[in-house]
Amino acid sequence: MTDIQITRRPFGGRPVAEVVAELTAEIRELYTSDQVPWVIGYSGGKDSTAVLQLVWLALNGLAPEERTKPVHVISTDTLVENPVVATWVSASLKVMTDSAQASGLPIFPHRLTPTVEDTFWVNLIGKGYPAPRPKFRWCTERLKIKPSNAFIRSVVRDHGEAILVLGIRKAESSVRASVMAKHARRRVRDRLSPNGSLPNSLVYSPIEDWTNDEVWMFLMQVANPWGYRNKDLLTMYQGASTDGECPLVVDSTTPSCGDSRFGCWTCTLVDKDKSMSAMIQNDDEKEWMLPLLELRNALDMRDDEGFRDDRVLRDWRRMNGRVQLMERKSTGELEMIHGPYTQQSREEWLRKLLGAQAHIRENGPEGMGALELVSLDELHEIRRIWVFEKHEIEDSLPHIYAEVTGGQFPGKPLDEHLVLSADDVDTLRQLCDGDELRFEMTRSLLAVEQKFRTRSRRSGLFEELEKVVRHGFYDGRDDAGQRARAYKEVADVARGYRPMHEAPATGHMTVDDQAATGAGLSPLFEADEAEQQLEGTHASS
């Protein structure tokens, strides 16, 4: 028996011009029905380009006196976007701004970025957060959601409401279709759905029923109104498809370039960066991007069986210094959950990042000579975290910068009382006789003492010193594990033990807990908690 496949004709066989005329009329009706400002999400991809193009065409069809409210176009640059796409979007925003002003349209583009404290490299290299994983997705909130939500909230604060115009489509995924259907049932006005996360904001999705191929047909047949070439966008998608093809009308077995996706070049939430790999594969002139792909793959460290495993790069203590045991669900065995990247790992990531930046500046195409994979503001913040929060007072960042780039780090000198010279560090290491834990603890104690030395009031000094001692008093990793297990045995007696797979779920999970859960582990026990219970048992007895 032969299967019969029925292919949907784009727009049901209707002419593109007819569909566009109908949709732009709807957009004009919604735009003129109130004074609520619009915010269009623009990534530079096909869907957001199609939506912005429709709105632009609709506003062009209004008389000047009817264009009474602003349309903000926001593009969130995570600062780790694919450089080709980032360059494309930046140039598009510039052309867009000039064209809107020349046409008298109330369209205002904005490039949004995360705060320096929230950037990818400050969190990974500065604080030591492990590379993101599907169940440890610390990046999305910081890099994408917070900047855009902050802007939208400012619009709501100034005007009371905002309407978000987005290029979301049901055909993107079954999950997206389900969510959109749920919101559609709660629509308060025709075509406007409530926003689940932002109060006083509504969502308008004009191309929600379009397919990938309908989007491309529209972009190829209707000229870009702000003067950017949609065919260049098509070429970029073609380059990001592994087969180099990008058909516009296909059957269910034909790959469509509409499935190509661009995003952060550092992304480890997927198994492979297919778009960047395809760009390098399809275009010899894109070989300059190879160091980015290599660094991304290094971040996505895996074991011989292909599973993510970067424990060798991470501290066996949590970010706050605690030792935590975890129960592996598959075997029931107890393991120590690893925390942030070690100092050595963070310094090596910085070397690789600066090396990739130097390579691209030297070997990349025109326009990449001043590329910043990591900004000076980020380097300053990483340096501050290393010296003042992690007590790495040898201040190694300027030396690494000079070592890799051959130039002097353009940063201001730190407080000389908080920094050890290279000779001092060597002397301290010799005194510690190769004991890295003793070296770290002594260095941190010196840092705390020096920080409080010039203060008129030294409130909190002893608490800081105790925190340092608790972080590093162990004889080593094995000693820490044995202590945690001993404390656990006492706690089991005090509270009754129940395996985690039988215990009810707890409500709060830290960053490290999320990482553990993603690795197939269950939070079981913290040594500090057991120590407190042990002290209480002794006191009561």
For the stretch 336-352, pLDDT in tens is 888 999 999 999 999 99
State mean pLDDT over 356-363. Answer: 94
CB-based contacts of 276: which residues, under 8 Å, 6+ apart? 82, 240, 265, 289, 292, 293, 296
Which of 70-74, 118-122, 336-340 has the weakest average pLDDT?
Answer: 336-340
Indicate if the alpha-carbon torsion angle 234, 235, 237, 243 is positive or negative: positive
What residues pair up with 146 in beta bridges, in sequence order? none
pLDDT of residue 239: 72
What does each C-alpha distance from 105 to 36, 65, 68, 499 come to in angstroms?
16, 11, 10, 64
Contact of 224 with 213, CB cutoff 8 Å: no
**CA distance readout (Å), 72 to 98, 167, 247, 521:** 14, 15, 32, 44
**pTM of the predicted structure, to 2 decimals:** 0.80
Query: From the CA atom positions of the chain, what is the Rg in Å?
Result: 28
Taking CA atoms, 254 is separated from 213, 224, 248, in Å, by 11, 27, 10
Between these two residues, 174 and 270, which has the higher pLDDT value? Answer: 270
Angle, helices 230-239/274-282, rounded to nearest 10 degrees: 100
Q: Which domains does the chain have, with CATH numbers?
A: 10-230 (3.40.50.620)
Is residue 334 helix, strand or coil?
strand
Q: Residue 394: is its pLDDT beyond 50? A: yes
pLDDT at 4 over 80: no
| First-to-last C-alpha distance (Å) of the chain | 80
| 3-class secondary structure, 348 | helix
The answer to which of 66-80, 289-303, 370-384, 414-428 has the lowest mean pLDDT is 414-428
Query: Is a pLDDT exceeding 60 seen at residue 35?
Result: yes
Q: In which region does residue 311 sit, left (phi positive, over 0), alpha (psi from -120 to 50) or beta (all else)?
A: alpha
Q: What is the pLDDT of residue 473?
A: 80
Exposure b/e, 206-216, CB count within 10 A at least 16 = b: bbbebbbbbbb
- Give the pLDDT band (50/70/90) at residue 171: low
**Would you list the DSSP string of 28-68?**
HHHHTT--PPEEEE--SSHHHHHHHHHHHHHHHTS-GGG--
Q: What are phi and psi of 521, to 5 degrees?
A: -115, 160
**Poorest-confidence range of 192-206, 294-308, 315-329, 503-517?**
503-517
User: CA-based angle 60:104:193, to the nearest 5?
Assistant: 55
pLDDT at residue 44 is higher than 60? yes
Is the model's pLDDT at 360 over the cut of 80? yes
What is the pLDDT of the chain when averaged over all its residues? 81
Q: Say if residue 514's pLDDT is above 70.
A: no
Which pairs count as long-range contacts for 181-184, CB under 8 Å and 24+ apart, including other chains?
none
More confident residue, 75 or 3: 75
Percentage of the chain beyond pLDDT 90 is 43
